[in-house]
């Protein structure tokens, strides 16, 4: 298995893309730390991975709290021994026009999608640099989950667009800073995936999302996990910087 002897940390692993990514990385031989707020969901996932012979560490944490984010990273390094892969996946998408939007929704998106990702990236970076230096693969990976919304702004999606464009900008700058150290920073930008993400929206917004995307056949979390696993299993000299991945029927 390609990730034998390595350790991966996945944020937002209690559902959707993060959950599927944890399974996919464990399947490739990585020991996996699974991080989110819903402990029961993480325990359930850990039991499934464990049954298949994988090694899992459950960490209940809110990544918007810098101390909790840092503690999750440090616990992973101390209990699993190292960190070769960070999948910065935890995110929220609260849509709707800017006018009269509840500002608390904007704060939540900035806190989770931007600050949470930055806290985890900052804490994990020294571990990734060390992992790239001392094997077993002599390369380490940070995969930041953005979105098509990180490429194209859309009416009714302004602040989500802002957070995901920000993730793209930060990822490219960081990539240039650490690529000579063999730490690869990759951006994965999914289109519509069938997960719990949209379900946190206000009912009137949810209706709008449904009519925008209609009844196209959405991707499954496993489709994105597959892309993440591909990115992190490339040979040391190959860096997949960016993956834009849409359902075939999604136009924009
Ligand atoms: N689904 C799509 O169509 C789509 C498209 C493009 C990009 N994405 C991106 O993919 C990522 C994963 O989303 P998903 O679609 O898989 O949605 P999801 O099923 O709702 O998963 C979101 C995950 O983020 C975690 N999370 C939220 N707030 C958190 C916090 N404060 N601290 C720690 N974890 C937190 C949630 O866990 P807890 O609630 O247990 O904490 C959950 O595990 C997001 O960044 C999203 O923007 C999704």
Could you write out the DSSP letters of every residue in 154-170? -TT-HHHHHHHHHHHHH
**Which residues form the catalytic set?**
160
Tokens of 123: 């804490």
Query: Using CA positions, which residue lies closest to atom 17 of ligand 1?
Result: 197
Q: Which two tokens stand for residue 51?
A: 């049954």
The pLDDT, as a whole number, for residue 80 is: 98
Q: Where are the alpha helices (DSSP H) in the chain?
A: 16-27, 39-51, 66-80, 103-109, 117-134, 158-178, 203-213, 221-232
3-class DSSP state of 156: coil
133 CA from centroid of ligand 1 (Å): 31
Ligand 1, atom 23: closest residue by C-alpha? 12
| Gap from CA of 91 to ligand 1 centroid (Å) | 4
pLDDT in tens, the chain (252 residues): 699 999 999 999 999 999 999 999 999 999 999 999 999 999 999 999 999 999 999 999 999 999 999 999 999 999 999 999 999 999 999 999 999 999 999 999 999 999 999 999 999 999 999 999 998 999 999 999 999 999 999 999 999 999 999 999 999 999 999 999 999 999 999 999 999 999 999 999 999 898 888 889 999 999 999 999 999 999 999 999 999 999 999 998
Contact 197, 92 (CB under 8 A): yes
- Site residues for ligand 1, CB cut-off 6 Å: 11-18, 36-38, 41, 62-64, 89-93, 112, 116, 145, 147, 190, 192-193, 195-197, 221
Nearest residue (by CA) to ligand 1, atom 8, is 147
**Which numbered atom of ligand 1 lies nearest the CA of 219?**
3
What phi and psi values does residue 131 have, to the nearest 5 degrees?
-65, -40
Mode of pairing for the β-strands spanning 140-145 and 85-88: parallel
Domains of the chain, start order: 7-245 (3.40.50.720)
| Ligand 1 site-directed mutation target among 65, 91, 94, 147, most atoms within 8 Å of CB | 91
CA of residue 228 relative to chain centroid, distance: 9
């Amino acid at each position: 298995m390609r990730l034998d002897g390595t350790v991966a940390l996945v944020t937002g692993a209690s559902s959707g893309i993060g959950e599927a990514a944890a399974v996919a990385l464990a399947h490739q031989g990585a020991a996996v730390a699974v991080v989110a707020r819903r402990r029961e969901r993480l325990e359930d996932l850990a039991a499934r991975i464990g049954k298949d012979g994988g090694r899992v560490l459950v960490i209940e944490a809110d990544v918007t709290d810098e101390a909790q984010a840092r503690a999750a990273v440090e616990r992973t390094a101390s209990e699993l021994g190292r960190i070769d892969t960070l999948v910065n996946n935890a995110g929220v998408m609260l849509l709707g026009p800017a006018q009269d939007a509840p500002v608390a929704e904007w704060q939540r998106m900035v806190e989770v999608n931007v600050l949470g990702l930055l806290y985890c990236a900052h804490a994990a970076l020294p571990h990734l640099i060390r992992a790239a230096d001392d094997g077993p693969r002599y390369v380490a990976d940070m995969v930041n989950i953005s979105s098509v919304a990180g490429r194209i702004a859309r009416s009714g999606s302004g602040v989500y667009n802002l957070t995901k464009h920000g993730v793209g900008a930060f990822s490219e700058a960081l990539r240039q800073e650490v690529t000579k150290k063999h730490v690869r920073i990759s951006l994965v930008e999914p289109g519509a995936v069938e997960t719990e993400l949209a379900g946190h929206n206000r009912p009137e917004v949810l209706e709008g999302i449904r009519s925008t995307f209609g009844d196209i056949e959405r991707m499954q979390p496993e489709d994105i996990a597959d892309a993440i696993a591909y990115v992190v299993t490339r040979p040391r000299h190959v860096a997949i910087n960016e993956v834009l991945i849409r359902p075939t029927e999604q136009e924009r």
